A and B are shown apart, each in its own frame.
Chain A
Amino acid sequence: MIQVIAFYLFATLTIAAGALTILARNPVHSVLWLIVAFFNAAGLMVLAGAEFIAMLLVIVYVGAVAVLFLFVVMMLDIDFAELRAGFVKNFPLGLLLAIVLVCELVLGIGAERAGGIQLGTPDGTAATAAGASNIEAIGALLYSKYLFLFEAAGIILLVAMIGAIVLTHRQRGGVRGQNISRQVARRPEDATVNMQPEVGKGVQL
Chain B
Amino acid sequence: MTEFFQTIGMTYEWAWFVATICGILLIALPLMLAVAMIIYVDRKIWAAMALRRGPNVVGPFGLLQSFADGLKVFLQETIIPSAANKGLFLIAPIITFTVALLAWAVIPFNSGAILADINVGLLYVLAISSLGVYGTVIAGWASNSKYPFFSAMRASAQMISYEVSIGFILICVVLWAGSFNMGEIVEAQKSHVWIINGFVANPLLFPMWVMFLISGMAETQRAPFDLTEAESELVAGYQTEYSSMSFALYWLGEYANVLLMCALNATLFFGGYLPPLDIPVLYLVPGWLWLFAKIFFFFFVFSWVKATVPRYRYDQLMRLGWKVFLPVSLGFVVVVSGYLMYTGHFA
Residues of A within 8 A of B (CB): 1-2, 26, 28-29, 32, 35, 51-52, 55-56, 58-59, 62-64, 67, 70-71, 74, 133-135, 178, 180
- Closest beta carbon of chain A to B156's beta carbon, Å: 6
Given contacts A64-B130, A74-B137, A135-B120, 15 further A-B contacts (CB under 8 A): A1-B13, A32-B138, A55-B120, A55-B126, A55-B127, A58-B131, A63-B130, A63-B131, A64-B163, A67-B156, A67-B160, A70-B134, A70-B141, A71-B156, A135-B180
- Closest beta carbon of chain B to A83's beta carbon, Å: 18
| Chain A residues within 8 Å of B119, by CB | 51, 133-135
A-B contact pairs, 15 of them (CB 8 A): A1-B13, A28-B85, A28-B88, A28-B141, A32-B138, A35-B134, A51-B118, A52-B120, A55-B123, A58-B127, A63-B126, A63-B131, A67-B133, A70-B141, A178-B315
Whether B17 sits at the interface, judged by CB under 8 Å, is yes
A64→B141 contact, CB < 8 A: no
| Chain A residues within 8 Å of B163, by CB | 63-64
How far is A26 from B127 in the complex, measured between Cα atoms in Å? 27
B141→A74 contact, CB < 8 A: yes
A55→B130 contact, CB < 8 A: no
Cβ-defined partner of A52 (8 Å) among B123, B131, B138, B160? B123
| Chain A residues within 8 Å of B156, by CB | 67, 70-71
Contact with A along B256-283 (1 / 0, CB 8 A): 0000000000000000000000000000
- Closest beta carbon of chain B to A38's beta carbon, Å: 11
Query: How many residue pairs at the A-B interface have CB separations less than 8 Å?
Result: 67
Whether B153 sits at the interface, judged by CB under 8 Å, is yes
- Closest beta carbon of chain A to B170's beta carbon, Å: 11
B120→A32 contact, CB < 8 A: no
A64→B123 contact, CB < 8 A: no
Whether B319 sits at the interface, judged by CB under 8 Å, is yes
B137→A70 contact, CB < 8 A: yes
Nearest A residue to B91 via CB reads A32
A64→B120 contact, CB < 8 A: no
How far is A55 from B123 in the complex, measured between Cα atoms in Å? 6
A32→B123 contact, CB < 8 A: no
| Chain B residues within 8 Å of A58, by CB | 127, 130-131
How far is A178 from B180 in the complex, measured between Cα atoms in Å? 40
How far is A67 from B131 in the complex, measured between Cα atoms in Å? 9
Nearest B residue to A26 via CB reads B85
Nearest A residue to B138 via CB reads A32
- Closest beta carbon of chain A to B314's beta carbon, Å: 12
Contact with A along B130-149 (1 / 0, CB 8 A): 11011001100100000001
How far is A31 from B150 in the complex, measured between Cα atoms in Å? 20
B127→A59 contact, CB < 8 A: yes
Whether B124 sits at the interface, judged by CB under 8 Å, is yes
Q: Give the 5 A-B CB pairs with smallest separation, nearest first.
A: A63-B130, A58-B127, A55-B123, A133-B119, A59-B127
How far is A63 from B153 in the complex, measured between Cα atoms in Å? 15
| Chain B residues within 8 Å of A71, by CB | 137, 153, 156
How far is A71 from B141 in the complex, measured between Cα atoms in Å? 10
Nearest B residue to A1 via CB reads B13
